[in-house]
Amino acid sequence: MGCSSCSTNKNGVPNGCKSNGNCATGTCGSGNKLAVFDWLSNMTLPTGEERFNIYEVRFKNGRKHFYKAPNGKNTISMGDVVAVEGNPGHDIGIVSLAGELVKVQMKKRKVAIDSEDVKKIYRKATQKDIDAWQEARGRELETQRKGREIISRLGLKMKLSDVEFQGDGNKATFYYTADDRVDFRQLIRDLASAFSIRVEMKQVGMRQEAARLGGIGSCGRELCCSTWLTDFRKVNTAAARYQQLSLNPLKLAGQCGKLKCCLNFELDSYLDALESFPKQDKVLKTEKGDAIFVKMDIFKKLLWYTYKEERFKWYKLSLEQVSEIIELNDADELASPLEDYESEIVEETKVDFEDAVGQDSLTRFDKPKKPRRNRNKRRRKPNQKNASNNNNNANTANKRKEPQNKKGPQKQQNNNTPKKQEQSSKKPRRNTQNKRKNTQNKPNKQNEKANTNTNTPSNNKKPNNNNQRRNKRRNTGNKNAKNNNQKQ
């Protein structure tokens, strides 16, 4: 909500708030918690009536009190920073409401005009007061951190949620939450000695803590307790049952850990609508069998029932049909099956906005995805090609080896024939030994031939010179042995 001064000019540049903190809307750019719109600000008072001299002053996190201005100093307006009476010393706050609406707020909070709770306003805050106030506010986070360390050291079962310094910096209020009663006498001594200030402890509830800290609810808006809700009523799970909500604590609980306050907002309208509905434990007696209640839609006036023996199917009935069946049962008559009643319901199709072009589709700019089957086929093809290439290479290698193996034994037979003829004319014993030696040496010659065949330009491999030298030495040794045998 904003006033006309917050609008933009002809060039589109925002004008900004020119009221210097005194905006008519009360919340223009300030984001104040529990702000009130002064709709009587533009109205003049009747003749002869003085302006109301009690003001509502706002402090940190929505804390508000009423203060009385001294006589003859009613020049204070909304948004002014004032110095008010403290305990002890003075405090600094901002005027959140003035005029006749203050009477309404005091009546709402049950605060009398002559009450002792209504303290004095000293003056408008000077620059020196504002500097001291801002310096004190800057110490709050560090004080809160050290205070939590002291609490954990003492082993107290409490949670320190917030720290608020007084405007003059001589006093600090520590807000905490606890389930049970806590003895914090030693804690006050430690805090006073650590920070050299006067300490005040205040216990608040879970909802008050959430209201002070603020936040965003599950609905996407600011918390009701930190913006406009001041009276916290009790919320029971019966409110969720009447509204046909699932009893899920994660959905029903707010940031404070308690049931949401908004469960009570629409409860009265639901209770008025449920007066015409039958009780949920009412059993409908039909020709096919007894039917029990499953669920209902309160505002559409629809109910779902199912048979006790056949619970896999639900039958949708209107409120008029259910009341008709109950009247027949009261007259000791059985109603027709639920299938007949369900067929009588005609749903009217409401024609709403039609998305003919597809402009509301979230995926209209996305590229269409290609099917995955084609990708898998493409991935398989190169693997198959590699496999076929490997098979071809293996076949060619085997073909090259086959002629070498065929030629080997033929050459052996040709080479062995003259040697056998020469050895036949000599002694048998020595010939047998020479045969053994020759058979051992002949494979070496075959290996040499195989190596020479394999060391072709197609394979691009260098010959093994070491193997050739060894084979030559063995061959020379065999020749010398033959010559000695012949001489003998």
The reported pLDDT for the residue numbered 202 is 93
Co-location of 204 and 285 in the same domain: no
Average pLDDT over residues 34-49: 78
Summarised one tens digit per residue, pLDDT across range 304-352 is 999 998 888 999 999 999 999 999 999 999 999 999 898 888 777 776 6
Q: Is the pTM of this model over 0.95?
A: no
Q: What angle do the packed helices 428-454 and 465-487 form, to 10 degrees?
A: 160
Co-location of 157 and 204 in the same domain: yes
Co-location of 245 and 303 in the same domain: no
Alpha carbons 55 and 85: distance in angstroms, whole number: 13
The tally of domains found in the chain comes to 4
Q: Tell me the DSSP string of 362-381.
A: TTTTSPPPPPHHHHHHHHHH
Co-location of 39 and 79 in the same domain: yes
Average pLDDT over residues 156-161: 92
Co-location of 26 and 77 in the same domain: yes
Statement: residue 3 has pLDDT above 60: no
Statement: residue 119 has pLDDT above 80: yes
The reported pLDDT for the residue numbered 72 is 62
* Band of residue 192 on the pLDDT scale cut at 50, 70, 90: very high
Domain extent at residue 59: 19-125
Tell me which H or E stretch contains 451.
helix 428-454
- Find, among 257, 142, 161, the residue nearest to 209 by Cα: 161
- Find, among 43, 42, 23, 19, the residue nearest to 32 by Cα: 23
Q: Which of 62-76, 157-171, 259-273, 392-406 has the lowest mean pLDDT?
A: 392-406
- Find, among 217, 215, 131, 145, the residue nearest to 174 by Cα: 145
| Dihedral sign from CA coordinates of 255, 261, 265, 271 | positive
Q: Tell me the DSSP string of 196-229.
A: -SEEEEEE--HHHHHHHH--B-TTSSB-HHHHT-
Q: What CATH number did the domain enclosing 208 receive? A: 3.30.300
| Dihedral sign from CA coordinates of 387, 389, 392, 396 | negative
Average pLDDT over residues 250-268: 91
Tell me which H or E stretch contains 428.
helix 428-454
Statement: residue 95 has pLDDT above 80: yes
